[in-house]
Amino acid sequence: MTSIQSRSASRGPGRGTETLDLAASLRLAVTRLARRLRQQADTGVTPSMLSALATVERMGPLTLGELAALEGVQRPSMTSIEARLEETGLVSRQVDAADRRVVRVSVSPQGRQLLERSRSRKTAYLARRLQAMLPAERKALADAVPILERLLEDEG
């Protein structure tokens, strides 16, 4: 008996299996939705570049080390991503006033425009898809949003 089966059996008949089935279905649906939304972005940059750009926008000017840690990649990979973002004019570098050895990356006006265009396209895609649904289906999804957000909260 696997550890998952053991845990499932201790929770009572069917509960563990139902949870695993739900987890698998949710993972697949979320993965497919994320892929579809990435396709809708049509930004001309890679998903890694878009993710890094959005992180810089959300978190403010960052060092490459901070950005690499937030994105969960190694610093050499982030250096390459940042260089491509800078080449395309989506970010700019500033030397830290307190420590001239430190360089921070911030989003340029062109980067903000690209992010806004990407978000608008994704939102419009979802709005079109939602409009085609029944009101009860839209309500079910609206009710699920706070639950999905709780799934993403840090695990203390």
What's the average model confidence in pLDDT over 16-36?
94
Q: What is the pTM of this model?
A: 0.78
Domain 42-152: give its CATH code. 1.10.10.10
Q: CA-CA distances (angstroms) from residue 13 to 9, 25, 28?
A: 6, 20, 25
What's the average model confidence in pLDDT over 75-97?
94
d(CA 100, CA 60): 18
Q: 102-123 in b/e burial notation, b at 16+ Cβ within 10 A?
A: eebbebbeebeebbeebeebbe
- Which helix (DSSP H) or strand (DSSP E) does residue 34 occupy? helix 15-41
Q: Reply yes or no on whether the pLDDT at 10 is more than 50.
A: no
In this prediction, residue 96 carries a pLDDT of: 85
Query: Tell me: the pLDDT tens digits for 101-150?
Result: 888 999 999 999 999 999 999 999 999 999 999 999 999 999 999 999 99
Q: Sorting pLDDT into bands at 50, 70 and 90, what band is 14?
A: low
In this prediction, residue 20 carries a pLDDT of: 95
Percent of the chain with pLDDT over 70: 89
Domain ranges of the chain: 1-41, 42-152
- Would you state the structure tokens that stand for residue 154, as one six-digit string? 């840090």
CB atoms within 10 A of CB 139: 11
Q: pLDDT averaged over the chain?
A: 89
In this prediction, residue 41 carries a pLDDT of: 82
In this prediction, residue 8 carries a pLDDT of: 43
Q: Reply yes or no on whether the pLDDT at 1 is more than 50.
A: no
In this prediction, residue 43 carries a pLDDT of: 84
Q: Reply yes or no on whether the pLDDT at 97 is more than 90.
A: no
d(CA 29, CA 153): 19
In this prediction, residue 53 carries a pLDDT of: 97
